[in-house]
Amino acid sequence: MECSSSSSSSSSSSASDEEDLMREIIINLLLASGVYSRYENVNIKTDWWETALFYQIYPRSFVDSDGDGIGDINGIISRMDYLKDLGVNAAWLSPIFKSPMYDFGYDISDYYTIQPEYGTLEDFEQLIKKANTLNIKIVLDFVPNHTSNESDWFIKSSNKDEYYSDWYVWENGHIDADGRRQPPNNWVSVFRKSAWTYSKTRDQFYLHQFSPAEPDLNYRNPVVAEEMKNIVKYWLEKGVAGMRLGSVNYLFETDKDTFGGRFPDEPKTGKPGAVSDDYDYLFHIYTKDQEETFDIVAQFRDVFDAMSVRNNFTRIMMTVARSPIKTTVRYYGDNYHSGAHIPVNTVLIDEMTSKELDARDLKHAIDLWISYMPLGKPANWVTGDHDTSRLATRFRPELVDAFNMLVLLLPGIAFTYMGEEIGMINGFVPWVETKDPQACNTNDPVNFIDVSRDPVRTPFQWNNGKNAGFSSAAKTWLPVAEGFESLNLEYQRNAVRSHYQVYRILSNLRIRPAFRLGRFESLAINQDVFAFKRWYNDDTYVIVMNLGKSYQIVNLTVFDLIFGQLEVEASSVQSSRSYSDNVLATYLDLSADEALVLRMQV
Ligand code: NOJ
């Protein structure tokens, strides 16, 4: 599986192993000696988050420090130096709060307590301390839309406790002609089947836009909104640098009072093959992106801003809303509402669904975000997360470096999902070991694989030892992915060329003004070759990638002011080119999957 063993078909400057080794030594010397620091003298007035490299940790699968087969906070602390070495500026952690783990932390039963199998509040404080010493920020994933059905709030609400009664969305439903109890309307949950579940205790249905274990909070109750803001304040006061508000587009449902007190049915999409249990059976016009959402997002933002002013250090708010582009970018804010610092951009996931990726599709996806987002705000780029098939599997392993070049060198903020830096692939998790509720909900031991998110959550592959160095347990919570013996960090650290080595070079390039501040232009040079230019004053770079499976010759002078010779700053593992090799702008031969970062000679 190790991509560094791939052969190259390129004709020019075939480097020997010794040359590669020299190149590696030179790069490490440059990195260590601070040669790049000359670029740091440019007076760049950006706030810490505007050009940050964020690394997503799925705590359950990162490092297990106590041998129970489940990752934990002390495990993260033990690998903070690794994040530093990668050049990461901030880590964001999938939820670590108390949870019955039906949806692995996204079903929270107590937002003020750390999940015991992950550690204690003291452990978390140690994590913040360690992160501070390394100048790495910690951002927490916060789930504002729903709690766990085992939270005290929900239990009290089910019992019609006076204070909590109205904290969730409760409805009566009706009895059909056959005397069967039916939900209030046709709404479907993202995880399939009715979005309503009957509670015997309360003799009413509650709404859950995700699993029945995740009842939706009622944001029309101002007390709920205030409590959720208190939670944000609490963690910001503990020293976290920001929070990620997931699924914000689900916070509100339509106002039923405008429909005579009854939530209306959603219209059918008519999508071929979709049945009434499927989420895409309906257009979600009453359950997503309601106008009130933008107001509550602005209220949350005020909490972050107040804390930022208090400590003179910007605490950031990220929002995740996978909606049509015009709606997603509204989460940046407008003249009436302040929005998120970072509305997470998933176009590189949502717009590029075909395995037969083409340079024009890529240009189109990137342009889409840049065209619709407000001018003057930073862009951000994401190619993977804990819900999305890994990039190496979605496309092919040979494109890992090209995509890391994109994410790390496009303008703005970069996100890396743990393992993308070494090109991890999806693991195989058989039906009998499947844990993801979205997969379990299919009740289908064959097709569950199409929706299961377990394969992207398998343990991080540290080395070729027991459980890939993730845990000393006899059994890990999810099996380690096959092929870890050669696809692991240690192997890639020792390899002359590897995804990890490329990633480190890229994260170091990122700090140059051309990438932090510079201008941007992109071209699909042909169907297979995508290229973009970044420049700041006279420091100019072209990043060029052959996404096709055949050899290509391109002329980079199609870009304005690109001519003469360019020098290689980084090359994908497929490339036969090494650091400081020269190429001609007018005639560049690219082997299949080859990706290069080139710098104009001045
Ligand atoms: C969004 C999270 O990313 C996902 O993992 C989770 O299952 C849903 N919210 C429901 O909580």
Decide: 401 in ligand 1 pocket, CB within 6 A.
no
Q: Taking a C-beta distance cutoff of 8 angstroms, is the pair 448, 431 a contact? A: yes
CA–CA separation, 208 vs 88, rounded Å?
A: 36
Residues 205-233, mean pLDDT to the nearest whole number: 98
Mutate to test the pocket of ligand 1, among 247, 319, 349, 382 (most ligand atoms within 8 A of CB): 247
Residues 75-91, mean pLDDT to the nearest whole number: 98
Q: Taking a C-beta distance cutoff of 8 angstroms, is the pair 252, 219 a contact? A: yes
Q: How far is the CA of 106 from the centre of ligand 1 (A)?
A: 6
CA–CA separation, 354 vs 361, rounded Å?
A: 9
- At 18 the pLDDT is 56
- Closest residue CA from atom 11 of ligand 1: 106
Amino acid type, 182 = Q
Decide: 436 in ligand 1 pocket, CB within 6 A.
no
pLDDT tens per residue across span 469-501: 999 999 999 999 999 999 999 999 999 999 999
Exposure pattern of 476-493 as b/e (b: 16+ CB <10 Å)?
Answer: bbbbbbeebeebbbbbbe
Q: Taking a C-beta distance cutoff of 8 angstroms, is the pair 498, 573 a contact? A: yes
Decide: 148 in ligand 1 pocket, CB within 6 A.
no
* Residue 236, SS3 per DSSP: helix
Strand partners, 196: 207
Decide: 141 in ligand 1 pocket, CB within 6 A.
no
Decide: 210 in ligand 1 pocket, CB within 6 A.
yes
Decide: 64 in ligand 1 pocket, CB within 6 A.
no
| Helical ranges in 456-498 per DSSP H | 489-494
Residues 392-416, mean pLDDT to the nearest whole number: 97
Mean pLDDT, rounded, of the chain: 93
Residue 39 has pLDDT above 70, yes or no: no
Residues 307-334, mean pLDDT to the nearest whole number: 95
List the domain boundaries for the chain.
15-143+382-505, 146-216+254-289, 518-600
Decide: 106 in ligand 1 pocket, CB within 6 A.
yes
Extended beta strands in 413-473, E state: 413-417
* Confidence band for 1, pLDDT divided at 50, 70 and 90: very low
- Closest residue CA from atom 9 of ligand 1: 247
- Closest residue CA from atom 5 of ligand 1: 387
Assess whether the region 15-143+382-505 and the region 518-600 belong to the same CATH fold: no
The minimum-distance atom of ligand 1 relative to the CA of 106 is 11
pLDDT tens per residue across span 430-463: 999 999 999 998 999 999 999 999 999 999 999 9
- At 25 the pLDDT is 54
Q: Which CATH architecture has domain 15-143+382-505?
A: Alpha-Beta Barrel (3.20)
CA–CA separation, 537 vs 373, rounded Å?
A: 25
The minimum-distance atom of ligand 1 relative to the CA of 246 is 1
Backbone angles phi, psi at 103, to 5 degrees: -115, 35
Q: How far apart are the first and last CA of the chain?
A: 40
Run of H or E including 401: helix 400-409
Residue 35: alpha-carbon gap to chain centroid: 32
- At 29 the pLDDT is 52
Residues 234-254, mean pLDDT to the nearest whole number: 98
Q: How far is the CA of 104 from the centre of ligand 1 (A)?
A: 9
* Confidence band for 45, pLDDT divided at 50, 70 and 90: confident
Q: How far is the CA of 246 from the centre of ligand 1 (A)?
A: 7
Helix, strand, coil share (%) of the chain residues, nearest 5? 35, 20, 50
Q: Taking a C-beta distance cutoff of 8 angstroms, is the pair 328, 343 a contact? A: yes
User: Counting Cβ atoms within 10 Å, is residue 323 exposed (0-12), middle (13-18) or buried (19+)?
Assistant: buried
* Confidence band for 289, pLDDT divided at 50, 70 and 90: very high
Residues 262-274, mean pLDDT to the nearest whole number: 97
pTM over 0.85: yes
Residue 43 has pLDDT above 80, yes or no: no
Question: Read out DSSP for 376-442?
Answer: TSPPEE----TTS--HHHHS-GGGHHHHHHHHHHSSSEEEEETTGGGT-------GGG---HHHHTT
Decide: 58 in ligand 1 pocket, CB within 6 A.
no
Superfamily covering domain 146-216+254-289 = Oligo-1,6-glucosidase; Domain 2 (3.90.400.10)
Superfamily covering domain 518-600 = Golgi alpha-mannosidase II (2.60.40.1180)
Residue 28 has pLDDT above 70, yes or no: no
Best CA proximity match to 429, nearest among 458, 450, 398: 458
Q: How far is the CA of 46 from the centre of ligand 1 (A)?
A: 31
Q: How far is the CA of 56 from the centre of ligand 1 (A)?
A: 14
Decide: 212 in ligand 1 pocket, CB within 6 A.
no
**What is the CB neighbour count within 10 angstroms for residue 592?**
18
- At 357 the pLDDT is 86
* Residue 56, SS3 per DSSP: strand
Tokens 């995880």 found at:
191
260/37: higher pLDDT: 260
Count of alpha carbons within 13 angstroms of residue 282, beta-carbon side: 23
- Secondary structure in 3-state letters for 4-48: HHCCCCCCCCCCCHHHHHHHHHHHHHHHHHCHHHHHHHCCCCCCC
